[in-house]
């Protein structure tokens, strides 16, 4: 059994509703102001890669839609979201927009659906004003149904968000420095519990993880993982088996939204705005290829990574768009690269395993 095995989501949700009196929202990828939900005593439970067999969603989606959207829709259609009190769809990409429209407009699901729109244009002063307004509108829209956001509650939530970011950052720093004794599977097993645990539970988990894992990382080839999310889990297991150490990542559901620098301001909405614009570059937000390259090279520099694995979810348009250019520039620096794409929960095939083994040999 893995250290820090996550609790069952179903039981955790039930417990949160019964014992804590919290409402629970299903939140689709990727970035959203979770602090506003916490302040309203709403628990966001993120839906990235539910382990469901897709049977019904195919009737609603084109064959070239990614499996993040496909499995999320399947979860809704199979009635596995019936316990939830609402849904939130951040405007991450066209596929999530499409999903939002199917769930909200066509399925006749009687649950409130909310939307959160990020600035998509090149960042400038107007984007900041726009984002700040989006935050306030989001809080006021939610407030109409779930009660007004109390300033003290929002301040508390923002503070918990910052403590979470600080602990996650520490885990990333230790790992990059080779002083975190955790396997790839353990590391992501813990970090990803933040996708559904309330900070009251996630903060102690992170502290415990850090306290018990400080030490020397195992030896092995250091790599950076880039893409959307560390799925299938078998990939991490395979990397552990081959003594490949993920020392950094550029994953949409991990460092690209979790590594937020500390910010202070009197108004919590200003803090959230400031934090948003300090997030790492991302293919789903403003993030030029040049900015992403610089970000990746910084990671290489601080971790001593010898290669980058682009593990892409099949049909993920925002990610696939930049990969050829990123690969070309990374190779020019003498680093090994490997590009793989697969569906969620599709364990590495024999062919993929062989390619990963060849990549490891190339690095050493």
Which residues contribute to the site for ligand SF4 (CB under 6 A)?
29, 66, 68-69, 92-93, 95-96, 228, 284, 313, 316-319
Q: Taking the complex as a whole, how short is the minimal distance between the CB of residue 95 and ligand SF4, in angstroms?
A: 4
Q: Taking the complex as a whole, how short is the minimal distance between the CB of residue 69 and ligand SF4, in angstroms?
A: 5
Round to whole Å and give the CA distance between 143 and 360.
Answer: 52
Indicate the residue among 93 and 167 with the shorter CB distance to ligand SF4.
Answer: 93
Q: How many CB atoms lie within 10 A of CB 186?
A: 19
Residue 291 CB partners (closer than 8 Å, separation 6+)? 281
- Reported residue count of the chain is 364
Give yes or no for a contact between 279 and 123, defined as CB atoms under 8 angstroms apart.
no
Q: Taking the complex as a whole, how short is the minimal distance between the CB of residue 44 and ligand SF4, in angstroms?
A: 17
Indicate the residue among 263 and 340 with the shorter CB distance to ligand SF4.
Answer: 340
Nearest 5 degrees, angle CA 248-CA 253-CA 254? 30
State the helix-helix crossing angle for 268-277 and 125-146, rounded to 10 degrees: 130
Sheet holding 221-227, edge to edge: 244-251, 221-227, 307-313, 336-342
Round to whole Å and give the CA distance between 226 and 320.
Answer: 11
Q: Taking the complex as a whole, how short is the minimal distance between the CB of residue 318 and ligand SF4, in angstroms?
A: 5
Sheet holding 42-46, edge to edge: 42-46, 23-27, 86-90, 113-116
Indicate the residue among 57 and 176 with the shorter CB distance to ligand SF4.
Answer: 57
Q: Taking the complex as a whole, how short is the minimal distance between the CB of residue 97 and ligand SF4, in angstroms?
A: 9
Indicate the residue among 210 and 289 with the shorter CB distance to ligand SF4.
Answer: 289
Round to whole Å and give the CA distance between 171 and 243.
Answer: 20
Round to whole Å and give the CA distance between 261 and 183.
Answer: 25
Q: Taking the complex as a whole, how short is the minimal distance between the CB of residue 171 and ligand SF4, in angstroms?
A: 23
**Residue 53 to residues 72, 90, 344: CA-CA distances in angstroms?**
11, 24, 11
Indicate the residue among 154 and 326 with the shorter CB distance to ligand SF4.
Answer: 326
Round to whole Å and give the CA distance between 270 and 266.
Answer: 8
Q: Taking the complex as a whole, how short is the minimal distance between the CB of residue 196 and ligand SF4, in angstroms?
A: 18
Indicate the residue among 193 and 284 with the shorter CB distance to ligand SF4.
Answer: 284
Indicate the residue among 146 and 295 with the shorter CB distance to ligand SF4.
Answer: 295
Q: Taking the complex as a whole, how short is the minimal distance between the CB of residue 311 and ligand SF4, in angstroms?
A: 11
Q: Taking the complex as a whole, how short is the minimal distance between the CB of residue 313 and ligand SF4, in angstroms?
A: 4
Indicate the residue among 57 and 300 with the shorter CB distance to ligand SF4.
Answer: 57
Indicate the residue among 199 and 281 with the shorter CB distance to ligand SF4.
Answer: 281
Indicate the residue among 66 and 84 with the shorter CB distance to ligand SF4.
Answer: 66
The CA radius of gyration of the chain, in Å to the nearest whole number, is 20
Q: Which long-range contacts (CB under 8 A, 24 or more apart) does 195-201 make?
A: 195/45, 195/46, 195/48, 195/253, 196/9, 196/12, 196/13, 196/43, 196/44, 196/45, 196/46, 197/12, 198/16, 198/20, 198/22, 198/38, 198/43, 199/38, 199/157, 199/160, 199/161, 199/163, 199/164, 200/160
Q: Taking the complex as a whole, how short is the minimal distance between the CB of residue 228 and ligand SF4, in angstroms?
A: 5
């Amino acid at each position: 059994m893995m250290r820090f095995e996550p609790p069952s989501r179903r039981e955790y949700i039930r417990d949160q509703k019964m014992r804590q009196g919290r409402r629970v929202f299903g939140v689709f990828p990727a970035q959203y102001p979770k602090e506003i939900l916490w302040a309203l005593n709403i628990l966001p439970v993120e839906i990235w890669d539910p382990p469901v067999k897709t049977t019904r969603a195919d009737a609603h989606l084109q064959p070239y839609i990614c499996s993040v959207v496909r499995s999320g829709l399947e979860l809704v259609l199979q009635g596995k979201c019936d316990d939830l009190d609402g849904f939130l769809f951040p405007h991450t990409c066209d596929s999530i927009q499409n999903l939002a429209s199917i769930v909200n407009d066509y399925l006749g699901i009687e649950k409130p659906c909310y939307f959160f729109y990020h600035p998509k244009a090149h960042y400038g002063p107007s984007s900041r004003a726009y984002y700040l307004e989006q935050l306030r509108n989001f809080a006021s829209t939610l407030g109409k149904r779930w009660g007004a956001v109390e300033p003290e509650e929002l301040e508390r939530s923002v503070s918990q968000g910052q403590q979470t970011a600080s602990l996650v950052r520490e885990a990333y720093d230790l790992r990059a420095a080779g002083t975190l004794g955790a396997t790839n599977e353990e590391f992501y097993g813990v970090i990803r519990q933040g996708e559904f645990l309330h900070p009251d539970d996630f903060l102690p988990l992170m502290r415990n993880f850090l306290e018990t894992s400080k030490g020397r990382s195992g030896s092995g080839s250091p790599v950076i993982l880039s893409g959307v999310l560390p799925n299938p889990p078998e990939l991490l297991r395979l990397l552990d088996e081959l003594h490949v150490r993920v020392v950094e990542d550029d994953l949409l559901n991990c460092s690209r939204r979790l590594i937020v620098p500390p910010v202070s301001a009197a108004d919590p909405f200003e803090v959230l705005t400031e934090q948003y614009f300090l997030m790492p570059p991302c293919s789903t937000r403003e993030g030029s290829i040049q900015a992403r390259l610089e970000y990746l090279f910084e990671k290489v520099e601080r971790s001593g990574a010898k290669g980058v694995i682009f593990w892409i979810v099949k049909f993920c348009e925002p990610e696939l768009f930049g990969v050829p250019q990123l690969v070309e520039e990374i190779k020019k620096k003498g680093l090994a690269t490997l590009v793989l794409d697969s569906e969620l929960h599709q364990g590495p095939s024999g062919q993929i395993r062989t390619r990963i083994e060849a990549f490891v040999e190339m690095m050493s």
